[in-house]
Structure 1
Amino acid sequence: MDRRKFIRAASVGSLGAGVGGALAAPAIAQSQPKVQWRCASSFPKSLDTIYGGAEDVAKYVSEATDGNFTIQVYAGGEIVPGLQAADAVMNGTVEMCHTAAYYYVGKDPAYAMGATIPFGLNTRGMWAWMFYGGGLDLLNEFYHAQGMHYMPAGSTGCQMGGWFRQEIKSLDDMNGLKMRIAGLAGQVMEKLGVVPQQIAGGDIYPSLERGTIDAAEWIGPYDDEKLGFYKVAPYYYYPGWWEGSLALNAFVNLDKWNELPDTYKSLLNTACTAAAQQMMAEYDYKNPTAIRELINKGANLRPFPKDVMDASFKAAGEIYADINAKNAPFKKIYDSMMGFRNESFLWQQVAEYTYDTFMMTKQREGALKMDG
């Protein structure tokens, strides 16, 4: 069934149920209040998949309300710089933004928990924890105190470890590197001797080209190819241990959220969830082709050395212990998320991992190729 038709039908159905289902859809649509919002994205339009998440939300909401609830999306820099999108929501410049919550760890480390943290949950685990493990309630307990309502509105899956101008053969090679990396991962990298830099997506390539930075992480093959990083930093590392998953999110000004009718709140939440699922599916479809094309263009695919992974894991634990000792809101969310992490990976290694590993072995043997 077409997703947009489903969302619209669900919205109309819930409204109709409130009056015994007696009203026809056009009459219901006419009774809905006119709401016009602006949404500041943290991303450039050239990154169609990640920027498109906000456009999908706006489209679903508009179509489900016959245009009565509209959201105009603006790319990073059109209203405010991409890394100031949440500030624009908090101060009322815009009603809503589409961003990655970990961009704002400078305000409070707890912001990162709505996006991802190093060595946290994978994508399936993150969604399970948010929707069934009380994660969304805990996140909004924190974000409401910041004047915003949070909704997950995008998903990238596990990301790549980024592009490096020089090969990384051991932990020693990390020392002194200037790397574009966001969130708490920057603090972990700092413990490894890296100098973290927070740079908006559209500014990464020129910074690598000029040598202002030595390495940069972004998302994965599809977006990375579009940005052309392989031309100036040929070594492509994996995995992005700082982003075993990434939940992009919508922040809504809390006063504006509270002003919405309950039906609009429900619809916006549903639209964000649908957009997140669609983004994940789109990345999963496009990344296989993109990784082949990057290798054909000269990208050197490399796993991070084990000593880099082990040192990063140890450093992350030290950082979390320090933050937990000082930051009660962070600790409350962290304890819940990490309490589920062990159970999630315990289950996923039983069936999912075993099946995936078997099929990946067959892929390497060439047994999955279709003939004719």
Structure 2
Amino acid sequence: MSIVSTWGRDFPGLGTSAQRLAERIEEATEGRIAVQYFAAGERVGAFDSFDEVASGNAQAYIGCDYYWKGKHPAWAVFTAVPFGLTYTEMDAWMKFGGGQELLDKIGSEFGIKGIPCGNTGLQMGGWFNKEINSPDDLRGLKMRIPGLGGDVMSKVGASPVSVPGGQIYENLVSGAIDATEWVGPWNDFFLKLYEAAQYYYWPGMHEPGSQVSLGMNTEFWSSLSDNDKLIITLCCAEENAMQTAETNYNNGIYLNRLINDYGVELREFNDDIYEAFGAASEEVIEETRDHSELAAEIIDSFLDARNNVGAWSNLSDAPYVVKRNRFLNI
């Protein structure tokens, strides 16, 4: 089983999670499935992973499905939607709200069987070389931001650019881009983005719970025994929980390092900016929905989950964390 990835080798978080999953599949199947893992650029470029698997040249990819939105915009929904689901809400939709069945449905049109295998949680708003005090400050800004979040930025006047993770730093330093989002404090630290931009903005609206997938060639998947299909599914579920927990824990540690050791300046997007993001996101969601019958089915299911689970989140996690941290002065 050859697995190609959209992440660099040994990159903490995304890269190491992908390698861990590849090793776990071989270990759990007691070598029946011998796995060869290729990081981005080792066999194909990061953004060529989908075609490599759909064609059967490789059996699987590990990456974020929003990279394939040019093939069908609804692929992006299975990574993140601006103003969409948090990572716990995403997990609920995938497991109990019909998300997995819809991932299977869109995947069947391209010869891909997808299984969630990670989540980076709520991402930061990004790194900027100037302060963003109003929506006007976003106009003309060249920003690395993929997926539907990039479409939102386009609507508020920025110029979104798709750049693989391994090329972000050099593009930001050279001035080829003016701003970038990546993931969060842990992953951003190891890209040394604090050397390339002064201001670190929060909260991110573009990826509130970014899901990672193992996308397998359907002929390969069909050739497996039921037992090996179950093992791969369980390995993905294990890594989905593992990556989320690991990222969440390390984000707190590395946020403190960025602030205290490297003098990173945190900035909060104000309400005017967030309202502009919100209005643009509604347009993007509707445009995605209008693409096709399948896109409408996926978007409608996703929005139902946002309304249902979101109503509970509004009374549970969100207010509790705010009140707890205020009391503890965190």
Give the partner amino acid of 1:342: N
CA contact (8 A) 2:214 2:236 kept: yes
Separation in 1 of the partners of 2:117 and 2:11?
16
For the pair 1:69 / 2:29, whether they are aligned, the reply is no
Separation in 1 of the partners of 2:40 and 2:291?
33
CA contact (8 A) 2:12 2:190 kept: no
CA contact (8 A) 2:200 2:267 kept: yes
Partner of 1:354: 319
Q: Aligned with 1:317: secondary structure? A: helix
Q: How much identity, in percent, do the aligned residues show?
A: 35
Deviations 1:325-366 (A, max 9, x none): 2321111011011011111111112232332122111231x6
Q: Equivalent residues in 2 for 1:46-61 (5 A)?
A: 46-61=10-25
Unaligned 5+ runs, structure 2: none
For the pair 1:328 / 2:289, whether they are aligned, the reply is no
Give the partner amino acid of 1:316: S
1:240 CA drift (Å) = 1.4
CA contact (8 A) 1:171 1:305 kept: no
Deviations 1:178-210 (A, max 9, x none): 000000111110111100000000000000000
Separation in 1 of the partners of 2:321 and 2:56?
46
Separation in 1 of the partners of 2:168 and 2:318?
34
For the pair 1:161 / 2:102, whether they are aligned, the reply is no
Match for residue 176 of structure 1 among 131, 140, 154: 140
Partner of 1:268: 232
Deviations 1:233-279 (A, max 9, x none): 11000111110100001110011111111111111011011111100
Partner of 1:194: 158
Give the partner amino acid of 1:142: I
1:59 CA drift (Å) = 2.3
Q: Aligned with 1:103: secondary structure? A: helix
For the pair 1:341 / 2:300, whether they are aligned, the reply is no
Q: Output the TM-score relative to the length of structure 1.
A: 0.86
Deviations 1:255-307 (A, max 9, x none): 11111111111110110111111001111111111001111202110111211
Deviations 1:54-85 (A, max 9, x none): 22222222222222222221110000001111
Q: Equivalent residues in 2 for 1:203-222 (5 A)?
A: 203-222=167-186
Give the partner amino acid of 2:290: A
Q: Aligned with 1:331: secondary structure? A: helix
Partner of 1:136: 100
Q: Aligned with 1:312: secondary structure? A: helix
- Of structures 1 and 2, the one scoring higher in RCO (CA 8 A, sep 6+) is 2
Deviations 1:139-197 (A, max 9, x none): 11011111100100111110001100111111110000000000011111011110000
Separation in 2 of the partners of 1:105 and 1:363?
43
The number of equivalent residue pairs is 329
CA contact (8 A) 2:10 2:16 kept: no
Separation in 1 of the partners of 2:61 and 2:39?
10
Separation in 1 of the partners of 2:276 and 2:309?
23
CA contact (8 A) 1:44 1:75 kept: yes
For the pair 1:315 / 2:280, whether they are aligned, the reply is yes
CA contact (8 A) 1:178 1:194 kept: yes
Q: Equivalent residues in 2 for 1:146-157 (5 A)?
A: 146-157=110-121
Unaligned 5+ runs, structure 1: 1-36, 367-372
Task: Report the RMSD for the aligned CA atoms in angstroms.
Answer: 1.1
Q: Aligned with 1:98: secondary structure? A: strand
**Larger radius of gyration, structure 1 or 2?**
1
Q: Output the TM-score relative to the length of structure 2.
A: 0.97
Separation in 1 of the partners of 2:89 and 2:127?
27
Separation in 2 of the partners of 1:212 and 1:363?
43
Q: Aligned with 2:273: secondary structure? A: helix
For the pair 1:258 / 2:222, whether they are aligned, the reply is yes
CA contact (8 A) 2:74 2:288 kept: no
Partner of 1:114: 78
Partner of 2:252: 288
Partner of 2:265: 300
Question: Cα distance 1:323–1:286, how it changes in 2: closer, same or farther (>3 A)?
Answer: closer
1:46 CA drift (Å) = 4.0
CA contact (8 A) 1:57 1:268 kept: no
Separation in 2 of the partners of 1:262 and 1:293?
46
Q: Aligned with 2:42: secondary structure? A: coil
Q: Equivalent residues in 2 for 1:206-245 (5 A)?
A: 206-245=170-209
Separation in 1 of the partners of 2:189 and 2:288?
36
